[in-house]
Structure 1
């Protein structure tokens, strides 16, 4: 992890200064030609349609003959892919989603094509942890709070702040249910791995918390005031929380004592029916223009040649600049989580048992 973070810091030093231009990447003519004989791309993802629109506009301008169907399937996409691929049914050519444990399973089954994108050299090593597995984005995790429940002078800027407020907010704090949501489990695991104080803080927060399975539920209940604080809310909510009408109700912050950054995985599938077209889409998503397009509605790009001013919200580098490299916690692909899942979950449940 220290080596990984050293690589991350290299991104941050460019913020606020001129970025060196990276060499323009050219398509492989053979791949482009072969794509013209394929029947379009099927993508299984956990992104809603509005996130895809700018990317597909960019892609279709360059490859107008390739039709892209991008679905939003959540966690069900893995079972669907395995069932379809086992029966030779048309299935995903490309998968874009989170979930470290499921990606590790996918890699171990040999289902990810070890494709070397022409953009590989432009990407930090930590963003491509296995052959063929890339990162589409690096999305931060935030703390959100209702301004009518938590007064401005007590606005939480860290997990420690949430713990200090917890005794006075019984039943008014929510977070992911790590026992029921693999994504939530990975967040708490990462915090425990990189922050020794996790359990002492969770033992203070847990008795006052009402965990939820869905980030959308947490967000909506913070907006309504049912919850005063949403701990570890996905940063894809930043655009909505930044709207003038919502800012009157809700504030948010990157946790100053440790901001989890989630890698949203991206890979070509072994069972792809349109492998060449899928390579072109993957390459587009990893390109500078593709990363900027994907970021238009709130996901976070990470290429070192993208600054905050290039996108409407945040780049990875601008988050590093704001919270400091030492407070970046990469939620990556930790096999120890898979091995120790049951024991960790049991301890988490004990901390979050109402008293």
Structure 2
């Protein structure tokens, strides 16, 4: 089905040196199938090599020519897993075969910006692109002068309103947050926060310290938790019974590992992007569900660094991931595409598929508006005050 994306305002929204972070270099001819949550092999994504849509400006060939002179290299600072990137890089390199090396690290969502700011202060940053879904951190970064390159993508007018998150920051994907649970340890499937609270209330002592949520001290955790409670203020009733049993973690990957191992029985506000492949690899031990009382969707922002060493190539990449071809690759990688017309099925995940699952009224799209510091402090104190010790 086709669903329009309406922005539901939330009023707020690892770690070695880059040289040893395991840069990924993907050559042409990688197998079409990837991890990223694909069931079986997704159908091939038809790529028009060095051909762009008719609505691109006539001078776009000059941008392609400039990119060819940059040496076929692209460096991305992101919080995105390599298996999510794989089909995107594969298809981008098929479109522009002379791009032979794409290096992408995997930092914490906030660290993406901390690293670039530190390097930009010395005037020597290798970053071409920044990709993160830390809305608060993006808002802080974009507000600083001289951090982002001004770029109006020719795809901008083809996207829904939410595709433009901030000046010069676009949405690469629209990733939903889920409840993840260990099927051998939780007797019932939680369908939402209220459902989870009801399950835990049957034997709260059994589940003490067995639930996990995201640390609201980080930009990601704050954004998704704040967006949910702003849109669903009545949810504090459920949170008052769940949070005393919960412990915070700083990444969805850690949460998923610990739920699968049994250290936790369930976690909420777990990103679906790393969850899709984890579910497939678990042999049925790990499952996720989207919240029927409000599924937060967090856009994954992409922007070009102000002093990008390969600025022309970076522009081509932004245009590609926003295009029909690129959004198809985004979906294949386990991220959630949002542009109309991207096929579903075969493990391809789309915003329209989510709407069909939970209903548009139950989708909460977090925006990239900066929340004042005093409001952040009040929220974090309230949330952390409920957590179990």
Counterparts of 1:283 and 1:3 in 2: how far apart (Å)?
22
The one of 116, 119, 123 aligned to 1:84: 119
Moved more, 247-256 or 280-289: 247-256
User: How many equivalent residue pairs?
Assistant: 333
Deviation at 1:242, TM superposition (A): 3.8
Say whether residues 1:323 and 2:358 are aligned partners. Answer: yes
Aligned to 1:209: 246
Aligned to 1:230: 267
Deviation at 1:340, TM superposition (A): 1.1
Moved more, 99-108 or 69-78: 69-78
The one of 65, 72, 97 aligned to 1:33: 65
Counterparts of 2:61 and 2:200 in 1: how far apart (Å)?
59
TM-score normalised by length of structure 2 = 0.80
Moved more, 253-262 or 33-42: 33-42
TM-score normalised by length of structure 1 = 0.87
The one of 195, 200, 212 aligned to 2:232: 195
For each residue in 1:104-153, what CA deviation from the matched residue of structure 2 results, as whole angstroms up to 9, or x when unmatched?
A: 112111322231111111111112122211011111111112122222xx
- Structure 1's 241 and 61: CA in aligned 2 closer, same or farther, altered over 3 A? closer
Deviation at 1:77, TM superposition (A): 2.4
Task: Say if 2:6 and 2:162, in contact at 8 Å, map to a contact too.
Answer: no
Aligned to 1:132: 168
- Structure 1's 338 and 104: CA in aligned 2 closer, same or farther, altered over 3 A? farther
Aligned to 1:176: 214
Task: Say if 1:174 and 1:218, in contact at 8 Å, map to a contact too.
Answer: yes
Please list every run of 5 or more consecutive structure 1 residues that lacks an aligned counterpart in the other structure.
Answer: 7-22
Aligned to 1:14: none
Which protein has the bigger helix share?
Answer: 1
Aligned to 2:94: 61
Counterparts of 2:85 and 2:254 in 1: how far apart (Å)?
23
Deviation at 1:307, TM superposition (A): 3.5
Counterparts of 2:191 and 2:214 in 1: how far apart (Å)?
18
Counterparts of 2:279 and 2:6 in 1: how far apart (Å)?
34
Counterparts of 1:127 and 1:283 in 2: how far apart (Å)?
12
For each residue in 1:49-86, what CA deviation from the matched residue of structure 2 results, as whole angstroms up to 9, or x when unmatched?
A: 22222222222222222342222223322222112222
Please list every run of 5 or more consecutive structure 2 residues that lacks an aligned counterpart in the other structure.
Answer: 10-52
Deviation at 1:103, TM superposition (A): 0.7
For each residue in 1:270-306, what CA deviation from the matched residue of structure 2 results, as whole angstroms up to 9, or x when unmatched?
A: 1112211110011111111111112223111110121
Question: How do 1:188-337 and structure 2 match up within 5 A?
Answer: 188-243=225-280, 246-309=282-345, 312-336=347-371
Deviation at 1:24, TM superposition (A): 4.9
Counterparts of 2:160 and 2:80 in 1: how far apart (Å)?
23
Q: Secondary structure at the match of 2:200?
A: helix
